[in-house]
Amino acid sequence: IIALSRLDPRLYTPMYFFLCHLSFLDLCYTTSTVPQLLINLSRLDRTISYGGCVAQLLISLALGSTEAVLLVVMAFDRYAAVCRPLHYTTIMHPHFCQALAIASWVGGLMNSLIQTGLMMAMPLCG
Protein backbone atom coordinates (compact mmCIF):
# COMPACT_ATOMS: atom_id res chain seq x y z
CA ILE A 1 0.00 0.00 0.00
CA ILE A 2 2.83 2.38 0.84
CA ALA A 3 4.63 1.79 -2.47
CA LEU A 4 1.47 1.93 -4.57
CA SER A 5 0.22 5.13 -2.97
CA ARG A 6 3.57 6.77 -3.71
CA LEU A 7 3.93 5.50 -7.28
CA ASP A 8 0.47 6.14 -8.72
CA PRO A 9 -0.45 9.86 -8.96
CA ARG A 10 -4.17 8.99 -9.01
CA LEU A 11 -3.80 7.81 -5.40
CA TYR A 12 -2.67 11.20 -4.07
CA THR A 13 -5.91 11.57 -2.13
CA PRO A 14 -6.47 12.00 1.61
CA MET A 15 -7.85 8.46 1.94
CA TYR A 16 -4.68 6.89 0.55
CA PHE A 17 -2.52 9.35 2.48
CA PHE A 18 -4.04 8.10 5.73
CA LEU A 19 -3.93 4.47 4.56
CA CYS A 20 -0.23 4.94 3.89
CA HIS A 21 0.27 6.22 7.44
CA LEU A 22 -1.79 3.34 8.83
CA SER A 23 0.28 0.80 6.87
CA PHE A 24 3.52 2.33 8.11
CA LEU A 25 2.14 2.31 11.65
CA ASP A 26 1.22 -1.38 11.40
CA LEU A 27 4.68 -2.14 10.02
CA CYS A 28 6.28 -0.36 12.98
CA TYR A 29 3.98 -2.10 15.47
CA THR A 30 4.78 -5.53 14.05
CA THR A 31 8.53 -4.95 14.02
CA SER A 32 8.45 -3.69 17.59
CA THR A 33 6.70 -6.72 19.11
CA VAL A 34 7.53 -9.78 16.98
CA PRO A 35 11.32 -9.90 17.65
CA GLN A 36 10.80 -10.10 21.43
CA LEU A 37 8.12 -12.75 20.88
CA LEU A 38 10.51 -14.85 18.79
CA ILE A 39 13.22 -14.51 21.42
CA ASN A 40 10.83 -15.60 24.15
CA LEU A 41 9.69 -18.61 22.11
CA SER A 42 13.25 -19.79 21.52
CA ARG A 43 14.57 -19.46 25.10
CA LEU A 44 13.61 -21.20 28.29
CA ASP A 45 14.24 -18.07 30.35
CA ARG A 46 11.39 -15.73 29.41
CA THR A 47 12.19 -12.82 31.68
CA ILE A 48 12.56 -9.23 30.59
CA SER A 49 14.46 -6.45 32.28
CA TYR A 50 12.63 -3.53 33.86
CA GLY A 51 14.02 -1.11 31.26
CA GLY A 52 13.07 -3.47 28.44
CA CYS A 53 9.57 -3.80 29.86
CA VAL A 54 9.18 -0.03 30.10
CA ALA A 55 10.51 0.46 26.57
CA GLN A 56 8.20 -2.21 25.18
CA LEU A 57 5.23 -0.71 27.03
CA LEU A 58 6.07 2.79 25.79
CA ILE A 59 6.38 1.67 22.17
CA SER A 60 3.27 -0.52 22.25
CA LEU A 61 1.17 2.21 23.84
CA ALA A 62 2.49 4.87 21.46
CA LEU A 63 1.78 2.84 18.34
CA GLY A 64 -1.58 1.56 19.60
CA SER A 65 -2.75 5.03 20.62
CA THR A 66 -1.57 6.51 17.34
CA GLU A 67 -3.49 3.85 15.44
CA ALA A 68 -6.67 4.62 17.37
CA VAL A 69 -6.39 8.35 16.70
CA LEU A 70 -5.50 7.74 13.05
CA LEU A 71 -8.61 5.58 12.63
CA VAL A 72 -10.70 8.45 14.03
CA VAL A 73 -9.05 10.80 11.53
CA MET A 74 -9.83 8.35 8.72
CA ALA A 75 -13.45 8.20 9.88
CA PHE A 76 -13.62 12.00 9.75
CA ASP A 77 -12.18 11.92 6.23
CA ARG A 78 -14.88 9.50 5.08
CA TYR A 79 -17.55 11.54 6.88
CA ALA A 80 -16.43 14.67 5.06
CA ALA A 81 -16.40 12.80 1.72
CA VAL A 82 -19.91 11.40 2.17
CA CYS A 83 -21.71 14.22 3.97
CA ARG A 84 -20.00 17.21 2.36
CA PRO A 85 -18.94 16.07 -1.13
CA LEU A 86 -18.92 19.57 -2.62
CA HIS A 87 -16.81 20.96 0.22
CA TYR A 88 -14.52 17.93 0.50
CA THR A 89 -11.55 19.41 -1.34
CA THR A 90 -11.61 22.54 0.80
CA ILE A 91 -12.12 20.61 4.06
CA MET A 92 -9.46 17.97 3.44
CA HIS A 93 -6.72 20.23 2.15
CA PRO A 94 -3.27 18.55 1.95
CA HIS A 95 -1.89 20.79 4.72
CA PHE A 96 -4.84 19.88 6.94
CA CYS A 97 -4.28 16.18 6.23
CA GLN A 98 -0.62 16.53 7.21
CA ALA A 99 -1.61 18.37 10.37
CA LEU A 100 -4.07 15.60 11.25
CA ALA A 101 -1.44 12.92 10.67
CA ILE A 102 1.11 14.79 12.80
CA ALA A 103 -1.50 15.33 15.51
CA SER A 104 -2.28 11.60 15.58
CA TRP A 105 1.42 10.69 15.95
CA VAL A 106 2.01 13.33 18.62
CA GLY A 107 -1.20 12.45 20.45
CA GLY A 108 -0.28 8.77 20.53
CA LEU A 109 3.21 9.53 21.80
CA MET A 110 1.93 11.91 24.48
CA ASN A 111 -0.63 9.34 25.63
CA SER A 112 2.01 6.66 25.95
CA LEU A 113 4.39 8.98 27.80
CA ILE A 114 1.69 9.89 30.31
CA GLN A 115 0.55 6.31 30.85
CA THR A 116 4.10 4.94 31.10
CA GLY A 117 5.02 7.70 33.55
CA LEU A 118 2.01 6.86 35.69
CA MET A 119 2.95 3.17 35.59
CA MET A 120 6.52 3.87 36.63
CA ALA A 121 5.30 5.88 39.64
CA MET A 122 3.49 2.81 40.99
CA PRO A 123 5.31 0.66 43.58
CA LEU A 124 6.68 -2.66 42.41
CA CYS A 125 5.99 -5.79 44.43
CA GLY A 126 9.10 -7.75 43.51
pLDDT, residue 48, reads 79
Q: Indicate the pTM of the whole model.
A: 0.83
Asked if residue 111 is part of any domain, the answer here is yes
pLDDT at 39: 83
Question: Is the residue at 78 inside a domain?
Answer: yes
Q: Which residues of the chain have pLDDT under 70?
A: 126
Q: Whole-angstrom Cα distance, residue 62 to residue 75?
A: 20
Residue 79: give the domain boundaries: 14-121
Tell me if 6 is assigned to some domain.
Answer: no
Task: Examine residue 5 and state whether it is found in any structural domain, yes or no.
Answer: no
The number of domains in the chain is 1
- Does some domain include residue 52? yes
Residue 61 confidence (pLDDT): 93
